Amino acid sequence: MRWFRHGVSAVLFIWILLTHAFAQNLPDGLTLGDDRMRSLLSSMLAGQSDVNLQRFLQRQVVCTDDQAFARFLNERGIRTLVTTIRSGSLALRTGRCTLLIEGAAVRWVRAILDSARPEPTPTQTDRDGPVIEPVANEFTASSGSVAIVADITDPSGVARADASGANLVQRNGDRFEIMIRLPNDYAQTRVVISAEDRLGNPRTRSVFIRRIPACGPPDGLDVAMARQIQSDLNALGLNAGVVDGLIGGGSCGAIRRFEPAPVNNWPALQAALARARIGITGRVQSDPTDAEQLVIVSISDPRETAAVEWVRVTAGGRVAEADRRAQGQDIPYHFALNPGAELDLRFDALDGRTRVLAQTRLTLRRMMDMTLNLASDHLRNGRIVASTDRVQVQVTLRDPWPDASVEWQTNDPGVVDQRRYEEVPIAVDLPMPRPGDSGTATFLAVDREGTIRARQSLTLFRLADMRLQIEAGDLEGNVIETEEPEAKIVVDLLNAWPDAELSVELGDGTSEVWSYTGERRAVAVAMPPPGVNRPLVIRVHDGAGEERDQRALALRRPAAGPPSWLVPGIVGLLLLGSFIWPLRGFRPFKKARQPKPLASGIMPHVYAVPDTTPDISVEPDQMPTITLTVDRGGRTDITIIREEDRSDEP
């Protein structure tokens, strides 16, 4: 007996341990609101409570992120709140639900409820379906879905509840909340609620749902009117959003910006917007320089309200003329202005009671003719003459118009530019043509519409390098040599520039300067004294005084000497004498024969004749050898005289 008691105690102990372990081993994803509920659920799972899992859950508010599971619970009368994965814990902490079932716990609870023993079937004496009592006959919302709320009861219990077009049904005890998508119009839509009790008895009940605007009364509005209102609000720049015919928050914000007062009449708002879109414009049709300015006034009425009946013009603060009737056509107005004058105009569109529906203002101005003023250091009489590869031109507009611009172009197609004129001169850097060539530069004054108001052209000429050309009768290379006291030099200039200046500078400090006029010029230059050299420099300068070319010469005058005829004369006399001297009898200075010496011996003798030529006299048979001695520089003609025959023998 003792062993039996010990065995029973051991079995009870093991059973308690297993029950406790099973109670504590709750599935993942099942979160309870507090420890009391955990203890109650553990007792129920351990079989220590008369309450099964379905009845336990019917006393709770269950949060889950599984919509199919939420519908499964609702069908069993369990109140369910559908949450997202992240918001379930927050709903449990804030008390919106007492139990959170997600993840693996969903399958665990579904398996237990599917395998649980069904509730006792009531007697078959109940033939009526559930009682459906909606909280209202019409349910409205302005966007998204509308919630139909109804209390559905039955003695046997409500097995199912639904509605046509429902996308979600939630149950909280006997109260059902059915979510249905709103229609895309403002008409009432009939919805049928259907329910069935546990005995299979059905029942239906009809209610209405309706879309209403987010502001204003629900009556008097349809989709077409809403589209027109949204379109007009956008046309007025009030940003109503997409034109879909559904008045939501964006459209209501635009309506408040148009009319701060609350909307109480949709047709009146539609008419006010249509009138607000009425516009009046005035455009100038004449040239700004015309003495009579033409203004065309137009009325725009997009909604064709025909509300505008009159047009009034005010000039300078006073009514210029009687009101003209608006007949759906443009109305012309003429105004005379003096050059440079301005006139402020206002045009009003009036209804039949002369109320202003639209207004526009216009400033009429008769412009002065714009003129172009061009300035440059190289500009003379519409012609730019320069030696540089580029020149700068300052462009100024006289009496410029608003937003006027200056355009320029040259013969080169690549040189085209435009710049807006801003009351200061525009510096234009123009390329010049090749040396010796000419081109054209054209400048235009253009108004804001692109009309040419002034034109001026310039001729561009690129100067070639100036070159001096010197001519002189005694010029050899860079030296002028003459015995004359004065030399004549002819100076010319090739590729002459305007205002070119020539100068001749002598070494003695004197100079001669003159402006080149296109003609050659002869310059008389004094030669230096005989035997003296003197430099001569000829220069050319441009109009700015910069030297462009020069030529350095030397003046040379030979030293004084014998007459030029002297040497030729001497040479001629010598030649003449060499011909006439040998002639017979031509010896004007020949001496007489000397007598024979008396001495017995023969002594030769030499005597001189007037021409300094020595004569020798000897005996004929005593002349074997003759030795002559001639003075340096004397004549070498020798005559031998023999007395026998008195003949001469050379």
**Pairing between strand 202-211 and 138-141?**
parallel
Q: 325-362, pLDDT tens digit by residue?
A: 988 789 999 999 998 899 999 999 999 899 999 999 99
Radius of gyration of the chain (CA): 69
Q: Residue 209 has what pLDDT?
A: 95
Average pLDDT over residues 312-320: 90
d(CA 399, CA 371): 7
For residues 277 and 232, the answer to whether their CB atoms sit within 8 Å is yes
Q: Report the distance separating Cα 353 and Cα 285, nearest Å.
A: 31
Q: What angle do CA 69, 79, 176 make, to 5 degrees?
A: 100
pLDDT at 506: 74
**How far from chain centre, in Å, is Cα 394?**
25
User: Residue 597 is inside which H or E element, if any?
Assistant: none
Write down the pLDDT at residue 594: 52
In the predicted model, what is the mean pLDDT of residues 10-27?
48
pLDDT digits (tens, 9 = 90+) for 358-382: 999 999 988 888 899 999 988 888 8
Side-chain half-sphere CA neighbours of 503 within 13 A: 18
Single-letter residue type at 356: V
Instruction: State the number of CA atoms in the 13 A half-sphere of 374 facing the CB.
Output: 27
Mapped onto helix, strand or coil, the DSSP state of residue 345 is: strand
User: d(Cα 332, Cα 298) in Å, to the nearest integer?
Assistant: 9
Q: What is the C-alpha to C-alpha distance for residues 176 and 171, in angstroms, rounded to an integer? A: 4
At residue 292 the predicted structure's pLDDT band, cuts being 50, 70 and 90, is very high
Tell me the β-bridge partners of 32.
99
d(CA 28, CA 102): 8
Neighbours of 368 (CB within 10 A): 14
**Do 134 and 205 form a contact (C-beta atoms < 8 A)?**
yes
Residue 257 has pLDDT above 90, yes or no: yes
Distance CA 639, CA 523 (A): 67
Residue 6 has pLDDT above 90, yes or no: no
How big is the chain, counted in residues? 650
Alpha carbon dihedral 164, 166, 171, 177, in 10-degree steps, equals -90
**What distance in Å separates the CA atoms of residue 263 and residue 269, rounded to the nearest whole number?**
7
- The DSSP bridge partners found for residue 549 are 540
- Alpha carbons 231 and 53: distance in angstroms, whole number: 58
> Residue for token digits 């914000």?
253
Token look-up 């003759």 returns 626
* Residue labelled with tokens 């839509």: 189
The answer, yes or no, to whether residue 316 has pLDDT greater than 50, is: yes
Mean pLDDT, rounded, for 436-441:
88
